[in-house]
Amino acid sequence: MTTVEQAEYGATNALAQRRRRRRHRRGADWWRHVVGIVMAIFVLFPLAYILSAAFNGEPTLVSARLIPEHITLDNFRQILSTHPPDPNAPKADYLRWYANSIIIPGSAAILSVLLGSLAAYAFSRFRFKGRRIGMLGLLLIQMFPQFLALVAIYVILLETGDVFHFLGLNTRTALILVYLGGAMGVNTWLLKGFFDTIPAELDESARVDGATPSQVFWGIVIPLATPVLAVVALISYIFTLNEFVIASAILQTSDHQTLAVGLQGYIADKYAQSWGSFAAGVVLAAIPPTLLFLALQRFIVEGLTSGSVKG
């Protein structure tokens, strides 16, 4: 931004503030507070409820109060300990699920950023036959929800598993691969849009300076695209973390399952629902995405907006 623009921006900003203050005096913006409070309750209520359920000794949801009568860590002991307080409850591999839910979405996020940016770089910088068709194809395929292909994916994995054991049903690698394919379209479009805003002169300058295409990619484009890479990684991570349909079809034994699939087991049994364990599991499961979000926050605000406006 030039100084003049900054000055102008400052001026309009001051004007807007003055207008806002005037309106405030007339009390015309009370409804904003109402909307804000309603939204806050809407967002915070489930959070409060699940926290309450996690620390509540009562096994049922219906009889429990929002503020528990006695706070207990039994639910956490139940899912984490090898000698749980209630030995009759169904055996669960919570820690394994937890590990799986870091490994699978983590690798899916890293690999999809890598694959997506390679594809996006080609679409953004090279002119080749089928470029337009390729872009449109990616978009079109993306229009169909991935679980429409569930039957096909299931059969493919069933067959490949005979040849490559590590790519068969009930393996984590297979699930990661399926997620990678599913996320290609959106990621590539998002990244291509950002790469297009990096001036091609930078690439050309680097090439004349003696860089190979891969040196241009790693040395110039990737460092400049970190904000959007962070966004894509986070989106992929959150999506794969929450994904249930495909994961439950592919991961069949308990020790390979993710949190989304495993935790569902606590509440699937109609006569033995353990909402307490479920709630405790969910609270712990929220820790990694929260940490990741905090770590990448700096990039995300930049990344979500910077692709939209040039300069």
User: Which residues sit at the interface with another protein, rule CB under 8 A?
Assistant: 127, 199, 201-202, 204-212, 215, 220, 223-224
Residue 16, amino acid: A
Residue number, 137 or 199, with CB nearest to another protein: 199
Minimum CB distance to another protein, residue 195 (Å):
14
Residue number, 60 or 212, with CB nearest to another protein: 212
Residue whose tokens read 């804000």: 36
Distance of alpha carbon 111 from alpha carbon 117, whole angstroms: 10
The DSSP 8-state label assigned to residue 4 in this structure reads: H
Rg (CA), the chain: 25
Which tokens hold the place of 81? Answer: 């300990």
Contacts of range 17-25, beta carbons closer than 8 Å, 24 or more positions apart: none
Residue number, 111 or 211, with CB nearest to another protein: 211
Residue number, 90 or 199, with CB nearest to another protein: 199
Q: Is 219 helix (H, G, I), strand (E, B) or coil?
A: helix
Distance of alpha carbon 227 from alpha carbon 311, whole angstroms: 15
Minimum CB distance to another protein, residue 162 (Å):
46
Minimum CB distance to another protein, residue 220 (Å):
6
Q: What angle do CA 238, 241, 243 make, to 5 degrees?
A: 105
Distance of alpha carbon 296 from alpha carbon 306, whole angstroms: 15
Q: Is 159 helix (H, G, I), strand (E, B) or coil?
A: helix
Minimum CB distance to another protein, residue 202 (Å):
5
Residue number, 37 or 202, with CB nearest to another protein: 202
Minimum CB distance to another protein, residue 214 (Å):
12
Query: DSSP for 185-207?
Result: HHHHHHHHHHHHHS-HHHHHHHH
Residue number, 1 or 143, with CB nearest to another protein: 1
- Contact between residue 306 and residue 227 where contact means Cβ atoms under 8 Å apart: yes
Query: DSSP for 27-63?
Result: TTTHHHHHHHHHHHHHHHHHHHHHHHHHHB--S-SSS
Residue number, 35 or 208, with CB nearest to another protein: 208
- Contact between residue 123 and residue 193 where contact means Cβ atoms under 8 Å apart: no
Minimum CB distance to another protein, residue 219 (Å):
8
Minimum CB distance to another protein, residue 292 (Å):
23
Residue number, 77 or 207, with CB nearest to another protein: 207
Minimum CB distance to another protein, residue 122 (Å):
17
